[in-house]
Amino acid sequence: MKCGNAVHGGMFEFTSQVFSSAQTVKKEEGEHPVSKKPKRTKEEIEEARLVKIKKKEEEEQSRWRWWEEEKYEDGVKWKFLEHKGPFFPPEYQPLPDNVNFYYGGKKVKLSPAAEEVALYFAQMLDHEYTTKKVFRENFFKDWRKEMTHEERSLIKDLDKCDFGELHAMHKAKVEARKNMTKEEKLVLKEANLKIVDEYGFCLLDHHKERIGNFKIEPPGLFRGRGEHPKQGMLKKRIQPEDVIINCSRESSVPVPPAGHRWKEVRHDNSVTWLASWTENIQGSIKYIMLNANSKLKGEKDWEKYEVARKLKSCVDDIRNQYNQDLKSKEMGTRQRAVALYFIDKLALRAGNEKEEGETADTVGCCSLRVEHITLHEKLEGNECVVEFDFLGKDSIRYYNKVPVVRKVFKNLKLFLVNKQPGDDLFDRLNTAMLNKHLSSLMPGLTAKVFRTYNASITLQQQLKELTNKSDNMAEKLLSYNRANRAVAILCNHQRAPPKTFDQSMANLQAKIDARKETLALAKTELKQAKKEAKNKGTSDPKLVERKKAAVKRCEEQLLKMEVQATDREENKQIALGTSKLNYLDPRIIIGSTRTQNEQQHSI
């Protein structure tokens, strides 16, 4: 079976505008209490509104309409690229004379290199990490590498080390930052904006584009996700000598910091990164890339979603194929069929092979082990239930009880025969084999495309079910977030509740209670105004109308707050940002907001 290259035409300009403008996602974080601002006059509000409108118009006029330009030949990403290079964190500042490190109760003056690493550990004393055996062992091993010979001869037991004064100094600095005056915060903000202006933008084909992550990550202690075997190891300071710069030959090469030089300067227009280096923990390459709403990201996303759209035209044939393969005489073919069933129905990641002991014990569909599933003939009123329990990407636990078709259940029982808990469930399959098979069914098809397709289909179905034409903006936003939440649950995008969540909800509930009191008072005043107008008339004939408007305004504000509270509570452990940025075709959101008379865009 081979799927054709069905193309959804007539949308390129619309599509590109959506991808150009819809990529920026608000970060999910706990809300911090904000000081009350002085009430603005109607004139000030109107002036601010007009300024905002004018700014939007100017931005729209200056927007680079790259989707209207002729595309480059295959493999060429840009023809001109100029930037300032990465921004490096400040050099280490030695401890003041009144802050000391102690070993065995005695003051020890550490060398600058050893002192810096000691401070990294001291800064984390409030974290659970510093109590973990693996973290402490890895830290101590790497710390000793930074010590002088004399320091290594003296410091041999981490339990005898006293980082108390270093930790107290760090806490004092944190508190000082929290208690900065408005003027101090403004100075800091202006300094940061200056850095963004200098390093946060580049010229791509002579158009100004925002850079995503232009700052080099500061050194520190590696944490990792879950029980990572390398937690506690020293993330070394990245120097310009470690960094490869990529820019065009005609551009001005970024100037390295004084006294340094770049590792290499390249002029490779077949890649989209501006700078790269190799980090020392995993040996992986890190990149500085353009912002999510840049031309390069927009083009990449458009291509990704177009492949997912093409899948719609042949997904039924593919499903029929893997259902037939469940009865194959070849065990490898059966395993591939069951894996595809899981990837399609549960949006599981395919999974990739990793060297044992190098990373946390995380798996995907193709790397599932016997210990990761439990089969139940009957469970909670359902038949043929598979219970999954494993650590997925970023050590996020995937736990799910899923009823499956009888043929899949029988095959799983067969796969488990004569296997130990640590054995591979799919011992005759890997991700490369699976993707090779998928590409034979449809050009460009991979396991990840299935995940993107099912995420977008879920969003489309949920928006259709949840939204109503009569909804106000707050209700529409709640419906969208609920639809997004369904996608995040499907893709297992979880997060820990923000540390400030409880306080944030308490603050919001206090505002809701206050608004209810205001509404009750407004209703009482409206009732009184109506009574006076009916009995004896009033000198102010518009009083009743004003009171009605006040009640309506209070009701709208209360509804908005209550919707906000519901939204926060429902999503406190769900990471919406990942699916928004990487899995949801923005055309679906745009299409769902259009009236019935307008063209509808679906996946």
The per-residue pLDDT for 62 is 64
448: left (phi over 0), alpha (psi -120 to 50) or beta: alpha
Delimiting residues of CATH 1.10.10.41 domain(s) in the chain: 101-178
285: left (phi over 0), alpha (psi -120 to 50) or beta: beta
Mapping DSSP to helix (H, G, I), strand (E, B) and coil, where does residue 53 land?
helix
C-alpha 246/C-alpha 264 separation (Å) is 9
Catalytic residue among 120, 305, 398, 583: 583
Rg (CA), the chain: 29
Residues in the chain, pLDDT under 50: 4-18, 20-34, 355-358, 595-602
Amino acid at 169: M
Which residue bears the tokens 């004379």? Answer: 97
Domain 101-178 has CATH 3.40.640.10: no
252-259: list long-range contacts, CB under 8 Å, 24+ apart: 252/82, 254/83, 254/84, 254/85, 255/84, 255/85, 256/85, 257/88
Delimiting residues of CATH 1.10.132.10 domain(s) in the chain: 456-593
State the fold for domain 315-441. Answer: Topoisomerase I; Chain A, domain 3 (3.90.15)
User: Mind giving me the DSSP string for 504-562?
Assistant: HHHHHHHHHHHHHHHHHHHHHHHHHHHHHHHHT--S-TTHHHHHHHHHHHHHHHHHHHH
Q: Which of 455, 428, 442 is nearest to 337 (CA)?
A: 428
Amino acid at 544: V
User: Mind giving me the DSSP string for 64-88?
Assistant: --GGGSPPPPTT---S-EE---PBP
At residue 175's C-alpha, the angle toward residues 170 and 180, to 5°, is 125
Q: Which residue stretches of 261-357 are H helix?
A: 295-312, 315-325, 331-346
Delimiting residues of CATH 3.90.15.10 domain(s) in the chain: 315-441
Domain 456-593 has CATH 1.10.132.10: yes
Kindly state the tokens that stand for 332: 């490898």
- Annotation marks residue 583 as catalytic: yes
Q: What is the pTM of this model?
A: 0.68
The per-residue pLDDT for 356 is 46
Q: Which residue stretches of 248-294 are H helix?
A: none
Element (H, E) at 360: none
The per-residue pLDDT for 34 is 46
Instruction: Encode pLDDT of 437-494 as tens digits.
Output: 999 999 999 998 999 999 999 999 998 888 887 788 888 888 888 888 889 888 888 7
